[in-house]
């Protein structure tokens, strides 16, 4: 059932406007941030944001480096209810490091609240939830209930990508309440001190509050299948091994993200395709928040005639995307799964500025040299060697 807006004075469906300046489809990370940035830049904008679920923003905890935000992002960014940390830690067998790059997370609940507040404050904007878009073109959007919205700019932010072919990052996370404080002051971005096996595995832990953690069991693998029960059990075992007593599980989230080594994002066309669906993500980290923040900033400045700025951004993105493809190829095809943590341990030994730029898809030529040159990490070639021994055929 479609619901229109959250405002008590919202016009009833029969009187709803059908002509907009911008129609945005999908109120996830990209659609949500773009909507906030547009409303901030153009308070009188006639904006429709259409979401098929009953609530905007889905069920995620989106993390990113604070440095991923464009330098002059508007007040909309400052208003985002972020949980912030001064940095994070990584741990591998024989190597651990505190990475002092400010890090933060935005929860779905936080983004949903920001969207509801922003739409409530803008008379000309409509947040339409519980109604899927069935068709869209460069000038209109057709909703499942038969309504047709016309717009000068239509933006597709529906998620799910088929850009690229390769491996997968798959994870299951449990948000848990502990019996006592965790003692963790910063996120543990990658704890690879775990038994490995047929896929590269690590735990990712976010201290959301002194007694509340999000613990994610993550694997980089060739296949997308995931044994959910085994992942849940592994998280409970990991917590017990760290001395954390789980009192209750508050929430669960899971995902399977592409880690391609083939394919590049398609050039922008109309209607604009943003988000994961348009290939606006980091192929080697799975993160798309840096792209979403930049796209929101770009569209807020250029929504009337976005093509030239977008083309320029896409060319830059494509170059960085290719670097990610190459690194995925080397990691997935060059290392046996149980040794795949070696290139990551090597990566986290690099200078902080190189790590930060890599995450936000802004690596410089010097960064690329640092990433690719030097003695190969231990285990390089092990995948080929083992394949030769076992006659495994790679897809």
Ligand X SMILES: Cc1cc2nc3c(=O)[nH]c(=O)nc-3n(C[C@H](O)[C@H](O)[C@H](O)COP(=O)(O)OP(=O)(O)OC[C@H]3O[C@@H](n4cnc5c(N)ncnc54)[C@H](O)[C@@H]3O)c2cc1C
172 near 219, Cβ under 8 Å? no
One DSSP character per residue, 328-365 reads: HHHHHHHS-GGGTHHHHHHHTTS-HHHHHHHHTT---H
One DSSP character per residue, 38-107 reads: HHHH-TT--EEEE-SSSSTT-S-EEEEEGGGS-TT--HHHHHS--EEES-EEEEETTEEEEE-S-EEEEE
Nearest alpha-carbon partner for 314 in 338, 278, 340: 278
Residues facing residue 322 across a β-bridge: none
Of all residues in the shown chain, the one whose CB is closest to ligand X is: 28
Kindly list the residues in this chain that would bind ligand X in the complex (CB under 6 A). Answer: 25-31, 50-53, 58, 60, 62-64, 132-133, 157-159, 253, 255, 257, 275-277, 286-289
Peptide bond into 271 cis (omega under 30): yes
Contacts 24+ apart (CB under 8 A), 247-252: 247/176, 247/177, 247/178, 247/179, 248/176, 248/177, 249/174, 249/175, 249/176, 250/175, 250/176, 250/177, 250/212, 251/59, 251/174, 251/175, 252/172, 252/173, 252/174, 252/175
Q: Which is nearer to ligand X, 199 or 254 (CB)?
A: 254
Q: Which is nearer to ligand X, 203 or 383 (CB)?
A: 203
Q: Give the shortest CB-290-to-ligand X separation in angstroms.
A: 7
Residue with tokens 């792209």: 291
Total count of residues recorded for the chain: 395
Q: Give the shortest CB-267-to-ligand X separation in angstroms.
A: 18
Q: What is each CA distance from 117 to 76, 79, 107, 110, 239, in whole angstroms? A: 11, 11, 15, 11, 37
State both tokens at 82. 């972020």
Q: Which is nearer to ligand X, 28 or 356 (CB)?
A: 28
Q: Give the shortest CB-139-to-ligand X separation in angstroms.
A: 17
Q: Which is nearer to ligand X, 158 or 330 (CB)?
A: 158
Q: How far is Cα 359 from Cα 285, in angstroms, rounded to an integer?
A: 7
Q: Which is nearer to ligand X, 2 or 264 (CB)?
A: 2
Q: Which is nearer to ligand X, 167 or 334 (CB)?
A: 167
Q: Give the shortest CB-217-to-ligand X separation in angstroms.
A: 12
Q: Give the shortest CB-102-to-ligand X separation in angstroms.
A: 15
Query: Which residues, in sequence order, are CB contacts of 390 under 8 Å at separation 6+?
Result: none
Q: Which is nearer to ligand X, 189 or 339 (CB)?
A: 189
Q: Give the shortest CB-32-to-ligand X separation in angstroms.
A: 7
Q: Give the shortest CB-376-to-ligand X separation in angstroms.
A: 28
Indicate the helix (H) or strand (E) that contains 190. strand 188-191
Q: How far is Cα 268 from Cα 265, in angstroms, rounded to an integer?
A: 9
Q: Give the shortest CB-275-to-ligand X separation in angstroms.
A: 2
Q: Which is nearer to ligand X, 303 or 335 (CB)?
A: 303
Q: Give the shortest CB-161-to-ligand X separation in angstroms.
A: 8
Q: Which is nearer to ligand X, 317 or 342 (CB)?
A: 317
Residues facing residue 204 across a β-bridge: 216
45 near 38, Cβ under 8 Å? yes
Q: Which is nearer to ligand X, 174 or 325 (CB)?
A: 174
Q: Give the shortest CB-52-to-ligand X separation in angstroms.
A: 4
Nearest alpha-carbon partner for 386 in 343, 333, 315: 333
């Amino acid at each position: 059932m479609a619901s229109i807006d959250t405002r008590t004075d919202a016009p009833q469906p029969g009187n709803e406007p059908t002509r907009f300046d911008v129609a945005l489809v999908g109120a996830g990370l990209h659609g949500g941030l773009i909507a906030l940035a547009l409303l901030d830049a153009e308070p009188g904008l006639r904006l429709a944001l259409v979401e098929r679920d009953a609530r905007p923003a889905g069920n995620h905890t989106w993390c990113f480096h604070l440095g991923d935000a464009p330098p002059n992002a508007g007040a909309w960014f400052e208003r985002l209810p972020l949980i912030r940390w001064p940095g994070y830690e990584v741990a591998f067998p024989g190597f651990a490091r505190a990475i002092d790059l400010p890090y933060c997370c935005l929860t779905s609940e936080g983004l949903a609240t920001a969207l509801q507040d922003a739409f409530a404050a803008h008379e000309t904007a409509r947040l339409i939830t519980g109604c899927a878009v069935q068709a869209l073109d460069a000038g209109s959007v057709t909703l499942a209930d038969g309504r047709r919205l016309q717009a000068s700019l239509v933006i597709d932010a529906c998620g799910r990508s088929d850009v690229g072919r390769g491996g997968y990052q798959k994870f299951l996370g449990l948000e848990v309440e502990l019996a006592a404080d965790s003692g963790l002051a910063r996120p543990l971005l990658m704890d690879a001190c775990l038994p490995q096996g047929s896929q590269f595995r690590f735990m990712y832990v976010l201290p959301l509050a002194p007694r509340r953690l999000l613990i994610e069991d993550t694997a980089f693998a060739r296949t997308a299948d995931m044994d959910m029960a085994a992942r849940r059990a592994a998280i409970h075992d990991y917590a017990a091994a760290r001395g954390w007593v789980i009192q209750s599980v508050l929430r669960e989230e899971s995902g399977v993200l592409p880690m391609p080594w083939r394919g590049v994002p398609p050039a922008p066309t109309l209607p604009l395709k943003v988000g994961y669906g348009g290939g606006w993500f980091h192929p080697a980290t799975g993160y798309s928040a840096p792209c979403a923040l930049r796209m929101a900033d770009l569209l807020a400045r250029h929504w009337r005639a976005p093509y030239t700025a977008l083309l320029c951004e896409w060319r830059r993105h494509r170059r960085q995307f290719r670097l990610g493809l190459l690194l995925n190829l080397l990691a997935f095809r060059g290392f046996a799964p149980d040794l795949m943590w070696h290139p990551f341990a090597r990566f986290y030994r690099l200078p902080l500025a190189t790590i930060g730029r890599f995450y936000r898809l802004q690596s410089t030529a010097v960064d690329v040299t640092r990433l690719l040159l030097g003695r190969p990490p231990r285990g390089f070639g092990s995948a080929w060697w083992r394949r030769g021994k076992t006659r495994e055929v790679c897809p």
